[in-house]
Structure 1
Amino acid sequence: MCDSETDVITIGKYVIVKKLNYKKIYKVTANGSLTLGKDLVDMGEIIGKRFWTSFEMIPSKNGKRSFFLKEATETESWNDLLSTLSKGNDNRSIVDDGNSQKLSKEEIVQLQESGKSGKEIVGSLIENNKSFLDRTEYSQEKYLKKKEQKYLRHLTVCKPSISSLHAVYFKLDHNKIGNLRMDALAQLLSYSDVQSNGLYILYSSGSQGLPTAAMLNRIGADTEGYLINLHPGNVPQTTIVHAMNFPKEQSERLVNVNIYSFLRLYYQGESAVLNNILALKKIRDNWTDKIKENVDGTIENSCIDGQILGNKETENKEYLKIVSDTNEISEEQSTIKRKLDEFSSAEVVPSKRPKWLLETQHAVDLVRNSKARGLAIVAKEHPLNIVMALLPFLGASRPFVIYHVYREPLQETYMVLKQRQNVINLRLFSNFLRSYQVLPDRTHPDILTSDTGGYLLTGYLVE
């Protein structure tokens, strides 16, 4: 039996499927499947099992490269494949003529379809390789690792964590998380002084919710800490937040709010916001009527003697004209129209307020009751106006930290904040983290690494 329900894999949770060095995020569903390279794996077997359980991929009879999972009590050890083999002194006598492997491609496929384990397949490849015994020990290990990645049929279902989720996204495309390296994320948490209690404010854009998930994870479950996540646009980026499988109690202490709605409600009040919504809704209704009149008029013009023209070519022209007339709405009108779609189904009256307005009011109440203990900004845009708007919500003698992938916006922000008397201890810096490969007789820095770690601007707000 499991000690906690959080250790059990259930429907709706996110897991990380690990196969050697390859990792992939998967949301558990009742009859779900996962694509690993060219393999299609039925993931129904993992439901009800514990995290960190290993499974063996069993070939399915339904089709090629299709597998189902079976819980494995132990994984294969491939080290004994090389223990009894002789090693060569060097590789100078090996000629890569493409004829070293005696097994044909069809024979290797037959071995896979016959249900042979990965270890047995690689053992057959080694036995039928004419030049394998002439390779050096290092070359044999390299060959074995390459075949292991291709033929290994064991995977492990891991529990998501901030470091593992960051590793998956950073390796996939570090631009999606704002080029935020793990060392920069750790310093972001440290300089914003995130603890288990108090109120913290975060502005995040273009990072898939990585800073939000990291700060909420640092606050912890069953605590008194709150996090206000300010974001541009109508929908916050919370992909990584959901992948962390936070309990309901902890997720409810995360308040996602649009930054413009938050500032407007704080300074102008709820009545001003509601009046603004009503005005925008009236404008939208006027546009809808004009579009409808335009479309109706175009259809009437396409009628002769009360009947629609039956000519297909003419109908296409009239349809294109309708679409063209409809698309003449200006960019500004379209933007506001999309803004209004969020609350079009709800009556904008105090008795039935939209959900986003309730969230915004909750955030305003939090900052009115107490100042924030820390402020963090992770922005794709220029951060100067953002930090100037959010500094009044930060408590005295409390830290703030700003992250940006480029140095120049932070330099301009540094010069403006330096002139303020209530901001002290400003520091603008960048780090370069480089990992090392540590192996017997061959320790060296990793050659393939990313140097896009971004820059940090930190400081303190005083009275």
Structure 2
Amino acid sequence: MTRNWDIIQQGDWIVIKMPSGNQKLIQLQPNVQIELGKFGKFQSSELIGKYYSVPLEIYDRDKLKRVENTDYLLDFEIDPRVETDATNQEIFDDANSQKLTQKDIEEMKLKSLDGSVHHQTIIKEIVSNNEKFNEKTEFAKAKYIKRKVKKYSKIFIPLFPNARNLIEYHNLKNPEKIHELRIDSLSQILTYANVRAGSRMLVCDDTGGLLATAILERTHGLGTCYFFHDGQNASLEIMKCSNFSNEVLSSFKTFAYQNIGKQPELREIEEGADVKPELIEKINARNANIKETFSTLEQGGFDSLIISTKFDTTEVIKKLEQFLAPSAIVVAYSARKELILEAYEYCRKSPSYANTFLTESWLREYQVPVFTSGTHPNMMMSGSGGFIFSATTVTTPEGLVIDKTTKRRKTSKN
């Protein structure tokens, strides 16, 4: 039976996006209470059968229900795109402008936790009791309401752990783990490498398998993806949270650097050994898989090589370029230009590569969109999306020599 991947099932990994913007990555286990801090808690069984990306609200302490409308600005008839004569110049929005006491607000928060007071009521009470609210500009009103929603709302969104959502989650928790990779940079990497169904790709990344996750998500298992790693075991903790089916994972292979060019080590069964038939079948299947993986790599002809590693990128290219087909694409990403600059120079000067370029990604994020009173970018955002270099492999006709001094092509007869 084909699964509906829009519906949450037991055992799924889920990214929970809370009203504050914080996120939590969980695996849905049976009979477990999921804690969301000040926003409440609920039983894991409440999520089973719900749709991904549909807002849910906690009520009656530990129950969930679907929310149709999450735009609180409509409740207050506020449109930040409308220009008014209001100004914030003379407004001093301090504690004295709020009629409600802190005790009143805390009492409503406690009632909200047991379900006797809806969180929307708290937000409306706080807004309506702010003496300076009506004097604000439409943009300032929208920002004020959004701050209160982040603080008091009990609506969260269960998100499917795709590459985009996993990038956002890890950038909030630990950006260095994924080399500070942003979604705009990832989209460029996949585009430059021409990742598509049927692609045959070599991948080298030490971001927990994030790049490989994005590749499998785009190809959906239609192709071949070789993941190169250092040591005996590959680090794929991010990929393990991606809910991939066995069919998709069948196109994914891991390969250790130290085994390149070596004959694969196969497990042999000693003659006369008392081994169960099930174990013999398992060992034979494993050996056949190792042989196939090694043979496919040795045949070469791969379409692209994608790299994001703290190791020497130049050495990675030199070791894996032998497996690339003509017109294959090499793409390398790094949060620091210095880590890929040498590799860029190597490809730029080599006669085996053409169309070599190095770029820096940049993105501006905005607060509440305003079309009439100028732009309002976020005050806190990443200053750079990292650096990407790309090069295309070419074949050199026999007898053609590159004069690197004059950078002119000469034949051997000259």
| Structure 1 residue 401, shift from structure 2 partner | 1.5
8 Å CA contact retained: 1:88, 1:135 = no
Alignment pair present for 1:34 and 2:34 = yes
Structure 2: stretches of 5+ with no match in the other structure:
79-83, 269-279, 396-414
1:109 to 106, 109, 112: 106
8 Å CA contact retained: 2:193, 2:304 = yes
Q: How does 1:42-441 map to 2 (within 5 A)?
A: 42=42, 43-60=44-61, 68-72=62-66, 74-75=68-69, 78-79=72-73, 81-83=75-77, 89-91=86-88, 94-95=91-92, 98-114=95-111, 115-205=116-206, 207-221=207-221, 223=222, 225-261=223-259, 263=260, 267-270=261-264, 361-437=291-367, 438-440=369-371, 441=373
| Structure 1 residue 389, shift from structure 2 partner | 0.6
Matched with 1:334 is none
* Bigger-Rg structure (1/2): 1
Q: TM-score, normalised by structure 2?
A: 0.78
Matched with 2:10 is 11
Q: Return 73-82 or 390-399, whichever deviates more.
A: 73-82
8 Å CA contact retained: 2:162, 2:217 = no
CA distance in 2, matches of 1:414, 1:444: 37
8 Å CA contact retained: 2:159, 2:165 = no
| Structure 1 residue 81, shift from structure 2 partner | 4.9
Matched with 1:63 is none
More helix by share: 1
CA distance in 2, matches of 1:55, 1:378: 36
CA distance in 2, matches of 1:415, 1:133: 60
| Structure 1 residue 178, shift from structure 2 partner | 0.8
Alpha-carbon spacing, 1:217–1:37, altered in 2? closer, same or farther (3 Å): same
CA distance in 2, matches of 1:186, 1:80: 34
Show CA shifts across 1:176-197 (max 9, x none): 2112222322222122222211
Q: Secondary structure at the match of 1:450?
A: coil
Structure 1: stretches of 5+ with no match in the other structure:
61-67, 276-349
| Structure 1 residue 375, shift from structure 2 partner | 1.1
Q: Secondary structure at the match of 1:193?
A: coil
Alpha-carbon spacing, 1:454–1:53, altered in 2? closer, same or farther (3 Å): closer
CA distance in 1, matches of 2:281, 2:13: 37
8 Å CA contact retained: 1:76, 1:119 = no
CA distance in 1, matches of 2:281, 2:183: 46
Matched with 2:387 is 455
8 Å CA contact retained: 1:200, 1:374 = yes
Show CA shifts across 1:20-58 (max 9, x none): 444433221112333434344223301122223332212
Alpha-carbon spacing, 1:204–1:71, altered in 2? closer, same or farther (3 Å): same
Alpha-carbon spacing, 1:77–1:260, altered in 2? closer, same or farther (3 Å): same
8 Å CA contact retained: 2:139, 2:370 = no
8 Å CA contact retained: 1:31, 1:44 = yes
Show CA shifts across 1:290-336 (max 9, x none): xxxxxxxxxxxxxxxxxxxxxxxxxxxxxxxxxxxxxxxxxxxxxxx
| Structure 1 residue 213, shift from structure 2 partner | 0.6
Percent identity of paired positions between Structure 1 and Structure 2: 23
Q: TM-score, normalised by structure 1?
A: 0.70
CA distance in 1, matches of 2:336, 2:392: 22
| Structure 1 residue 214, shift from structure 2 partner | 1.0
CA distance in 2, matches of 1:95, 1:421: 66
